[in-house]
Amino acid sequence: MKLSLTTPFVFLAAMSLTTPALAQIADFLVPANGDTLKAGSVITVEIEAPLFSAPVREVGLVIGFTVCNRLPLGCTSSPEELMETVLYNGTFNPQRDPLQPTKQAHQNFTVTLPDGQGAAQMGLVHFALGEGEEHPRPICLYLYPTSSIYTMKFTAPLVFLAAMATSVFAQNAEFGVPANGANLAAGSSITVEVDVPTPPTPFQDIAIAIGVTMCEQFTCTSPEEFMQFLLYNGTFNPQRDPQERTKPAHQNFTLTLPNQKGPAQLGLVHFGLGFEAVGFTSVFRSDSVDVTLT
Ligand SMILES: *[C@@H]1O[C@H](CO)[C@@H](O)[C@H](O)[C@H]1NC(C)=O
Ligand SMILES: *[C@@H]1O[C@H](CO)[C@@H](O)[C@H](O)[C@H]1NC(C)=O
Ligand SMILES: *[C@@H]1O[C@H](CO)[C@@H](O)[C@H](O)[C@H]1NC(C)=O
Ligand SMILES: *[C@@H]1O[C@H](CO)[C@@H](O)[C@H](O)[C@H]1NC(C)=O
């Protein structure tokens, strides 16, 4: 059994819960649960970062919207499992407002609501690295159509059922360079190529985290569970190279290796959205290669 001596980065997702140190749930400040919103309108959504006592890096965020009467099972899934419409996908970089010192770090998003009518759910799923636990977060809303005024508030309780088995064949992002078994100079700057073979179903890449773990100090298991050094966290936008038609869509990252020697694991965790027949589902995947830092 190896001991953790430094603060590691732990992947946070509802599917990979170990013993949580603290609960970290990004939350909606605006709109509020039970609000009535006008279909097709442009609104500001204000999302508050979770309060935490350990270092956490927010990486990516999806804000989704589901008009409940358009889904066979209504709003019974968590937003992680199913979101009918995606209002926002991208980075999440909450900040404190110096003019409102008592207010927690937050970020405002301007989004356009879909058309429709009736009970609706706005949900968020975020991808963060740190110590703790992560949950997707839904709120209930009522969507009134643009042509009429609706005054009653919708306050039905939420029921979560893991009813919708996901059938997404999301292709995993994987290391193209360096290769498994590579020797790399400790402390050097290297190019890491992350490949995404063309998936059989449409897929939206959002964010990626790339890290290194020294295997003599820590047990090298899945990068979803643990990464000792974080080399990159941020957007992921793999592209095909028209000059190299046989090469899969990829993105190159120039990263600086830690100045340590020995067997190591280079790992990535990838956050994206798979397209279902009725909406979108969140997908978290990982890949790793074994290397030696010399
Ligand atoms: C995700 O965001 C990108 C960039 O803003 C946008 O082009 C894309 O359509 C969005 N994807 C979905 C599924 O909404
Ligand atoms: C976000 O919007 C709220 C009102 O909903 C406002 O009080 C706050 O100052 C805004 N924050 C920023 C950073 O613009
Ligand atoms: C992680 O993301 C944050 C926010 O974008 C950025 O400030 C930080 O430098 C990133 N860290 C790495 C190692 O990429
Ligand atoms: C990424 O790097 C690889 C070599 O590691 C190179 O073959 C490829 O052309 C690069 N792609 C881009 C878009 O620069």
CA–centroid distance, residue 239 to ligand 4 (Å): 11
User: From the centroid of its chain, how far is CA 25?
Assistant: 13
Say yes or no: CB of residue 255 within 6 Å of ligand 3. no
| Closest by Cα among 115, 187, 134, 96 to 10 | 134
Q: What is the pLDDT along the chain (294 residues), one digit of tens a residue?
A: 233 333 344 444 333 333 333 445 678 888 988 888 999 999 999 998 866 555 667 788 899 999 998 888 888 888 888 889 999 999 988 899 999 988 888 999 999 999 988 899 998 888 877 654 444 566 666 766 544 333 323 333 333 333 334 445 556 899 999 999 999 999 999 999 999 987 777 889 999 999 999 999 988 988 888 888 889 999 999 999 999 988 999 999 999 999 999 999 999 988 888 888 888 888 888 899 999 999
Q: Would you list the domain boundaries of the chain?
A: 3-167, 170-293
Give the nearest ligand 2 atom to 99 CA.
9
Q: Which CATH architecture has domain 170-293?
A: Sandwich (2.60)
- Most ligand 2 atoms within 8 A of CB, residue of 30, 108, 111 to mutate: 108
CA–centroid distance, residue 162 to ligand 3 (Å): 33
CA–centroid distance, residue 86 to ligand 1 (Å): 8
